[in-house]
Amino acid sequence: MRHTRAHTANRRSHHALKTPTLAICSNCGAKHRPHHMCLECGFYNGRMVVDMEAKKKAREERLQAKREAIRGEEPESAESGEPATAEVKELKGGKKEEARDEKKK
């Protein structure tokens, strides 16, 4: 049903976004959500809750390992991608036939 402009405007009067309330970290001075750990330093209520530096290091190490794995795999798959898949298909077919034979016996 079509609404008047006034009706639409009245409904949209509640659509404005509110600015989030933020507290200032007592350890590093960054803004964080109140009653939540500071995402910059991992402190809450004056003590370290999560070791954010160790987490960042672990994350970087994980990402690097992933990148290296991708770099290592790419040239191999590009060179011998087609013959490798053909071999796999043949092996799968052979295995399936063997399995069927065993069931029949």
Query: Which residues are at the interface with Zn ion (CB under 5 A)?
Result: 25, 27-28, 30, 38, 40-41
Judged by CB, which is closer to Zn ion: 46, or 83?
Answer: 46
Q: Judge contact between 40 and 28, C-beta under 8 A.
A: yes
CB of residue 17 to Zn ion, shortest distance in Å: 25
Judged by CB, which is closer to Zn ion: 4, or 45?
Answer: 45
The CA-CA-CA angle for residues 36, 42, 48, to 5°, reads 105
CB of residue 70 to Zn ion, shortest distance in Å: 34
Q: Judge contact between 14 and 24, C-beta under 8 A.
A: no
CB of residue 33 to Zn ion, shortest distance in Å: 12
Judged by CB, which is closer to Zn ion: 40, or 50?
Answer: 40
**Residue 80: alpha-carbon gap to chain centroid:** 31
In the chain, how long is the greatest CA-to-CA distance? 81
